[in-house]
Structure 1
Amino acid sequence: MAHFPVIACAVVALSSAAAHAYPPAQHYALVQAQDEIQLDGQLKEDVWQRATKIDVNIQNEPLERAPSPVQTTAYLYEDGRFLYLGMDAKDPNPGAIRGALRDRDELWQDDNVGIIIDSLNDERNAFEFFVNAYGAQGDILATDFDTWVENASWDATWYSGAHIYEGGYSVEMKIPLTVLNLPQTDEEITWGISIARNYPRDVLYRISNVGFDLDIKCSFCQFDKLTGLAQRHEQRDLSFTPYVSAKRSDSKEVVPGEWQNGDTDVEVGADLRWRVNDETLLNATINPDFSQVEADSVQLDVNTNYSLYYAEKRPFFLDGSSFFRTNQLELLYSRTIAEPNYGIKLSGKNGVHTYAGLVTDDNNASVLLPGNQGSSLAQLEDDVTNAVARYRYDLGQRSGLGVMFTHRQGGDYHNTVAALDGTYGLNGSDAINYAIAYADTENSAQFANEWQLDEQQSGTALSLALQRNKRDYELRAQYEQISEDFRADLGYQPKADYRELELGGGQIWYGQEQDWLSKWGYDLQWQKSYDFDGELLEQQYEGYVYGEGPWVSSYELGMVHSEELYDDEYFLQNKGYVIFSMRPLQNLTYQFYGDYGSRIDYSNVRLGKGSDIENTLTWDVNQHLQLQASYNYSTLEVESERVFSAEQWDLRLYYKFNIRSMLKLIWQHEDIDRNQQAYLYRQVHKRNRNFGSQLVYSYTINPQSVFYLGYSDSGYQNDDLDSLTRNERTFFTKLSYAWQL
């Protein structure tokens, strides 16, 4: 690790990015008016004729910076408290408009329009607000430190309406200025903006007021500019959201057997959201209800040796989450915080300074124990306290330097991680990302003995990546090393004790308007990893070709060859895979993944052959009813003898009575059939079947003001049971309401 200071000093010395030749931005003056509107989407008020008018007429996909096939016009004004956006989306065939009444953030495959706002004009952070032709909302928190990254789980309170008419559809939006990060000044403010329309027909047309140059890696730096808001009003952006929930969980002590009815558990808690000033946001929660209202999508966990990853959905962790993000190492994975009694979070940005802090406790803490051939999930014995701090300093136009600190402590245990990370933009297409981290861990004697760990552990991590993104090709190189005793217990780092080098790149071609493929290309990648003793862990070669074509379709065909060490043996593996998605009908979407080839049988330490299949079909029966079916299948055999076959179903029915009221029905089923004679080192059940179902009614005023009423159950079958048998059931309700103070 002696080379760490050399790399750190060399990167920090690059204190500002080279000048970039970006396309000239269009500048607009934002109209100020005090007119009220009725949010019905019809643009009938006179104020829209006086508003700032922006033509949205540049096609960026499938053709680069080409004329738009349809006409779209945006109108903007502000009244000191809200930003108002009206959009008129013309359509020569309104009967072909795609969409329906949707749950929040489920509109991305529909006809939709929206605005992306870089409210600090720092070309690094942005807020996205979109509405489909039926009035469904979607909002995204986006960052562009080195590449455009979106978090659709973020939800804000704003207002909108939509209207379909004989010439297309129109949308009105009313966005509180308090939702946005704004610079603290009494003068006019300049924003970066991109106004967008997604127009899915035989291909997906992405249309904007900005014609993006694909030779420039950053996107926010190419936005047009909007100036105004000199007379905005001071607002005490303070919301208090109490909640009350009631739950009764029943179970069976013996299966099969009689139900043991549980007690009704009533919980009361509250969330506080306070924008201290234009730049700083404070979130606090007391006795939060962090239960998942909707079940996670199922993932097959069979013949895998690393822990699965699930996306965060809980509002407390999502607000301001981008301020904690690092490009290279995931040092905060908030789903490691399972059952806190309280939480407090501060986040914000002032000029070139970005800062964030988080403190919570946790009554059900677990840690991910990493290795170079697998990971394990372990439960801690004591309650813990968690603390996270993050600071980033922007350097020049495309560079930045950050530090991060995480700490978890309880009883005789603690885990502390300190990290330095950053981005250096060499020019418009080339960038370097780097991270250096140190971790110190003390395990309790009982925990260390149970998991065969040292009571004292310390380790380091280094990640360095160079990337060139051009319109017609991409090149990348990455080096990463994680020492054996490096643990980021508040993050997601499932692998340790390795040094890994990766090289890759590919080419892209673009079609013309009448071509069957609108874009196609190939990508090649090589990676090689060793443990810290110099023993080869894995060498892998991968190549694939891909394309985009009619029916809003995409295709990928690839091959992987690898040599992998597992349990002191090397295994040569070859597999081929295919991925495609398409929308053959206006209301039908299909996605497929399939692979076949040799693979390691991790349970029996030998080489076998197998396949994996994943399918998802989404059908909009009408504007109210949607069905979604996912089916996963996996099988493995060794020398023509089957080891296991596994299948998994995830069926979901959504019925929208209106934009606020919805009924959800979810049914999940997993069936793993194992050949007991094929397992050499342990006894297994032949039958391993699990199921779960959930019925939830929800009424949503805004993301924080919601009523839920629901029922869920689950059960299983193994060799001791003749059929699937329920062993758990839960009745629950929750009511929360956000008071604007």
Structure 2
Amino acid sequence: MFFNAKTAVIFSLFISNFMFNAHGSITKQHFELVHQSADISLDGHVSEAEWSHATYIPLIYQNEPNERGTPPVKTDAYLFEDGEYLYVAFKAYDPDPTKIRAALRDRDDLWADDNVALMIDTFNDERTGYEFYVNPLGAQGDMRMTDINGWAEDDSWNAIWDSAATITSEGYFVEMRIPFTALRFPKSQQAQTWSIAVWRNYPRDVLYQTSNVGFDWNVVCSLCQFDKITGLENVTPSRNLQLTPTFTALRHDEKQSVPGPWQQGDIDNELGLDLRWGITQDAVLNATLNPDFSTVEADSAQLDINTNYSLFYAERRAFFLDGASFFNNNHFDLVYTRNIADPDVGVKITGKTDVHSYGLMLSDDKNTSLILPSNQGSLLVNLNDESKVAIGSYQLDIGNQHSLGLMATHRETDDYQNSVLSLGGAYWFNQTDSVQYQLTHSNTSNSLFLQDTFNLDEQQSDTAYKVEFYRENRDYELFASVEEVGKDFRADLGFVTKSDYKKYLVGGGQTWYGDENSLLTSWEYETDWDKTYAQNGDTLEEEVELSVLLKSQLQSYLRVGLIHRDEFYFNDFFLQNIAYVQAGLSPTKDLKLTLYSSVGNKIDYTNAELGDSFEFEPAITWDVSDHLQLILSHQYSKLETDNQRVFTANVTDLRAYYKFNMRSMLKLVLQFEDIDREQAAYYFPVDKRNREYGSQLVYSYKINSQTLFYLGYSDAGYQDDSLRYLEKDQRTFFTKFSYAWQM
């Protein structure tokens, strides 16, 4: 008998170690949150008597660049609540306040500055939470965070809260006042326990990060290592109702022919209303009527030449951003709300009760667009029809770290519909090892337009799945995955650009550490191999990649990588060897430089040939003063085949921000794209010259993320071979006003 008693003992010890709870070895501090009546003047001076009676939390650990090291500077945090607000203060001492890095910033734009933060897990489930940041001049940043399959942050979430800061001869002081209506937490008449970390980012020649929590880098989860704070017996129940009426007015002018005269458009006035109702402390209803989804922040310029897949653009619209994390899933982007382009009405409910998280969103869309995927590229298609949209999600928390989730999406018009159902989750074997999975099925009924134009069957139905294994700790990582997407799989409300493939991947890496005074503060390598097949078994791609990352002084980094890829495209294989470099540094506290560059062989997807490619993408961020910031980025790309140039492309994006004060700002965006093609290199007629131009000038006044005023102008133009000069062909004048009433 092979399985004897000794073997059984060894096997049981192995299993018990393998299934070890990741939280068991972590020592946590426990704090009691003080309740007191508040008479706080939010001025950043931390001088009121209430602070001397508040809960005191010192930041005693350095977590970056050293694990559980000694902080280079002293920082103290103070907290209390008055039943309506959570008050937080920081005293961030500095031996040389002249080196403090800060400027007047727009919301969520302070990450490179000195800053302090409160991080709280209000459900104490060690899975999700909130982050509130303030820099030394009072600029705010806030985020939702999840820690289910590794730490992930979403800075698109915006709450309404107050803060103030002041720089002193000792360093800088910060005060925060966060209304409980901005948070979601369990409904209870008893004392609650939350997970908590207070944080300081101290950027100098290296970035120091200090906290009350000393993180064990061999434990993947971070929220599970947070300290605990208990209290909140006196939180006053609130209806938590917010109404935000919106008024917008715009005039859009066009030229019917270029060059030619302007055709002045009509002034379009719109009234809208957004509602946010905290039904309970842990469930929120959002509704929007006649929403204004006008873009007041131009998307970053992206070079869209020689790519056969659709480009991704981030969501910026408030209705879709609130509670967006409830609609995230493990591996496939099944919800990409920018596909809902022009709704008249939308309603959404999101919440969490005990171990159950849920979300439901209903909307219409007058401008229905979708992505048609394949293993050779994707197409963005507009149906020129109005559709109805429904999205539902549910997640069950299992144990300390495991999860199981369901998601369904549905979109339909009179003669078309697409439905997707997904099951996914994560299982943690121990502190470092996890397996994550997602299984998805779609059903599609195509309209006659889609059938005739794109040669699609009337009915399409298929599946997609992905399974990943991770081992991640302080010194090394291992990972492997298998994924498969059927030929007829479609997620028309998501961002799934590739189908008809199955892919296998395996890889790993290792890291070594210096200290804050070393020339190299850390260095690492990572390598992986993957192979992709079509559903019929034909090979699509085989790739090996190796990269080395070095981190050093002046917050500098250098990554050098090599890619060896054999890719099938248009009935042929193309062997590509590519070298790339990524680098960045901050030579002064006001200047940040980054660079990406690559050289090697790449496919010319337009002509199905192998070419020699060179890409060069520098960027600079310069804080000219506390008020003025300039961000300049450029993309240069060149492709040649058989010693013949195919194209040269340049894209420039310049952004200038002038902050009069924390509420008032003037923003200028200039974007220019110039593509010069060698016509003899193409098998079909193309313009030699393709230029596009866009500009935007916006004045904004923001009391908070919902109460604001915009006044702006934007225009765009182009030049092709039919034009001698760059000509503007559209322009827009717009204004927007919204006011958030909280009841």
TM normalised by structure 2 equals 0.97
Residues 342 and 365 in structure 2, CA contact (< 8 A), matched pair in contact too: yes
> 1:9 aligns to what?
none
Please tell me whether residue 561 in structure 1 is matched to residue 558 in structure 2: no
Task: Report how far residue 311 of structure 1 moved.
Answer: 1.1
TM-superposition CA deviations, 1:558-601 (whole Å, max 9, x none): 00000000001000000000001111011000111000000001
Alignment partner of 1:471 is 2:474:
yes
- Given that residues 22 and 221 in structure 1 are in contact (C-alpha distance below 8 angstroms), is that contact kept between their aligned partners in structure 2? no
Q: 1:519 deviation in Å? A: 1.0
Deviation of the 1:302 alpha carbon: 0.4
SS of the counterpart of 2:721? coil
Residue aligning to 1:684: 686
Of 486, 490, 493 in structure 2, the residue corresponding to residue 490 of structure 1 is: 493
Change in CA separation of 1:284 and 1:17 when aligned onto 2, cut-off 3 Å? farther
Equivalent position amino acid for 1:60 in 2: N
> Does the alignment pair 1:461 with 2:464?
yes
Question: Letter of the aligned partner of 2:157 in structure 1?
Answer: W
- Of 439, 442, 448 in structure 2, the residue corresponding to residue 439 of structure 1 is 442
Whole-angstrom distance in 2 between the partners of 1:296 and 1:554:
27
Q: Would the aligned equivalents of 1:17 and 1:424 in 2 still touch at CA under 8 Å?
A: no
C-alpha displacement at 1:717, in angstroms?
0.4
Is residue 695 from structure 1 mapped to residue 712 from structure 2 by the alignment? no
Describe the SS at the equivalent of 1:449: helix
- Find the counterpart in structure 2 of residue 6 from structure 1: none
Please say if residues 219 and 431 of structure 2, whose CA atoms lie closer than 8 Å, have aligned partners that are also in contact. yes
Please state whether the residue corresponding to 1:446 is helix, strand or coil.
helix
Structure 2: how far apart are the matches of 1:635 and 1:29? Answer: 61
Query: Does structure 1 residue 82 correspond to structure 2 residue 94?
Result: no
Q: Which residue of 2 aligns with 1:103?
A: 106
Instruction: Work out the CA distance in 1 between the residues paired with 2:317 and 2:481.
Output: 32
Partner of 1:24: 27
Asked if the contact 1:17/1:398 (under 8 Å) is kept, the reply is no
Give 2:606's match in structure 1, choosing from 594, 603, 606.
603
Matched residue, 2:356: 353
For structure 2, list consecutive stretches of 5 or more residues without a partner in the other structure.
1-15
Aligned to 2:13: none
- Mind listing any 5+ residue stretches in structure 1 that lack a counterpart? 1-13
> SS in structure 1 opposite 2:703?
strand
- The answer for the alignment partner of 1:572 in structure 2 is 575
Cα distance, 1:323 vs. partner? 1.1
| Partner residue of 2:618 out of 615, 626, 639 | 615
2:12 matched residue in structure 1 = none
* Structure 1 pair 185–539 and aligned structure 2 pair: CA distance change class (3 A): same
1:67 aligns with 2:70: yes
Structure 2: how far apart are the matches of 1:473 and 1:142? Answer: 24
Deviations 1:32-53 (A, max 9, x none): 0112211111100011010000
Contact 1:559 1:577 in 2 (8 A): yes
Instruction: Check conservation: 1:333, 1:492, Cα contact below 8 A.
Output: yes
User: How far apart are the structure 1 equivalents of 2:300 and 2:575?
Assistant: 32
Is the 1:17–1:396 Cα contact (8 Å) retained in structure 2?
Answer: no
Map of 2:96 onto structure 1: 93
State the SS of the aligned residue for 1:447: helix
Instruction: Tell me which of 380, 402, 409 is aligned to 1:399.
Output: 402
Q: Which residue of 2 aligns with 1:221?
A: 224
Task: State how far apart, in whole Å, the 2-side matches of 1:379 and 1:146 are.
Answer: 35
Deviation by residue 1:145-201 (Cα, 9 ceiling, x = unmatched): 110111111111000000000010000000011111111110001000111100000
How many Å separate the matches in 1 of 2:27 and 2:368? 51
Residue 714 of structure 1, aligned match among 706, 713, 716: 716
Answer whether contact 2:85 2:177 (CA < 8 A) is retained.
yes
State the secondary structure of the residue aligned to 1:490: coil
Match of 1:260 in 2: 263
Provide, for residues 596-628 of structure 1, a one-character-per-residue CA deviation record: whole Å limited to 9, x for no partner.
000001111110001112121010011001111
* 1:8 equivalent in structure 2: none
**Contact 2:375–2:499 (CA under 8 A) maintained in structure 1:** yes
TM-aligned CA deviation for residue 278 of structure 1: 1.1
Secondary structure in 2 matching 1:153: coil
Give the Å deviation of 1:312: 1.1
Q: CA deviation at 1:17?
A: 6.6
Distance 1:17 1:178, change over 3 A: farther
What are the equivalent positions in structure 2 for 1:261-280 lying under 5 Å apart? Answer: 261-280=264-283
Query: Which residue matches 1:3?
Result: none
C-alpha change, 1:210 and 1:597, in structure 2 (3 Å) is same
Determine whether 1:652 maps to 2:693.
Answer: no
Any idea what SS the aligned residue of 2:733 has? Answer: strand
Q: Using the alignment, how far apart are the partners of 2:742 and 2:370 within structure 1?
A: 38
Separation in 2, partners of 1:588, 1:294: 23
Q: Which amino acid aligns with 2:303?
A: L
SS in 2 for 1:276: strand
Q: Which residue matches 1:235?
A: 238
Aligned partner of residue 381 in structure 1, secondary structure: coil
Moved more, 115-124 or 508-517: 508-517
Q: C-alpha separation between the residues in 1 aligned to 2:408 and 2:416?
A: 17
Report the Cα distance in structure 2 between the residues aligned to 1:268 and 1:541, rounded to whole angstroms.
55
Q: CA deviation at 1:18?
A: 4.4
Contact 1:22 1:222 in 2 (8 A): no
- Given that 2:586 and 2:593 are in contact with CA atoms closer than 8 Å, whether structure 1 keeps it comes out as yes
Match of 1:148 in 2: 151
Asked if 1:178 is matched to 2:177, the reply is no
Shift of 1:464: 0.3
TM-score in terms of structure 1 length: 0.97
Q: Could you tell me which residue of structure 2 aligns to residue 506 of structure 1?
A: 509
Q: Which amino acid aligns with 1:703?
A: S
Q: Is 2:235 aligned against 1:211?
A: no
Task: Give, as a single letter, the amino acid of the residue that structure 2 aligns with 1:726.
Answer: K
The match for 2:6 is: none
Is 1:285 aligned to 2:288, yes or no?
Answer: yes
Q: Displacement of 1:242 after TM fit?
A: 0.4
On the 8 A contact 2:672/2:691 being kept in 1, the answer is: yes
Q: Is the 8 A contact 1:608 1:639 kept in 2?
A: yes
* 2:731 aligned with 1:729: yes
Residue 448 of structure 1, CA deviation: 1.3
2-structure distance, mates of 1:389, 1:149: 22
The answer for the alignment partner of 2:707 in structure 1 is: 705
Alignment-mate amino acid for residue 657 of structure 1: F
Return the letter of the residue paired with 1:668: Q
Give the RMSD, CA atoms, in angstroms.
1.0
Structure 1 moving runs of 4+ over 4 Å: none
Which deviations, in whole Å up to 9, do the C-alpha atoms of 1:257-310 show, x marking residues without a partner?
Answer: 000000000011010000000110110000111121010000000000110011
CA distance in structure 2 between the partners assigned to 1:618 and 1:269 by the alignment? 36
8 Å CA contact 2:206–2:516 kept in 1: the answer is no
What amino acid maps onto 2:626 in structure 1?
A: Q
Aligned to 2:8: none
Residues of 2 paired with 1:329 and 1:604: CA distance? 30
Distance in 2, matches of 1:264 and 1:657, equals 30
Query: Aligned AA for 1:719?
Result: D
Instruction: State the shift of 1:514 in Å.
Output: 2.5
Q: For the residues of structure 2 that align with 1:388 and 1:581, how far apart are their CA atoms?
A: 40
Superposed CA deviations along residues 201-226 of structure 1, whole A, max 9, x for unmatched, are 00000111111111111110000001
Q: Which runs of structure 2 are paired with 1:623-638 in the superposition (5 Å)? A: 623-638=626-641
Q: In 2, distance between residues paired with 1:347 and 1:471?
A: 36
Distance 1:142 1:506 in 2: 26
Residue 325 of structure 1, CA deviation: 1.0
Aligned-residue identity in percent: 50
Query: Partners of 2:152 and 2:689 in 1: how far apart?
Result: 42
Check conservation: 1:345, 1:359, Cα contact below 8 A: yes
CA deviation after TM superposition for structure 1 residue 24, in Å: 1.2
Tell whether the 8 Å contact from 1:443 to 1:454 is kept in structure 2 after alignment. Answer: yes
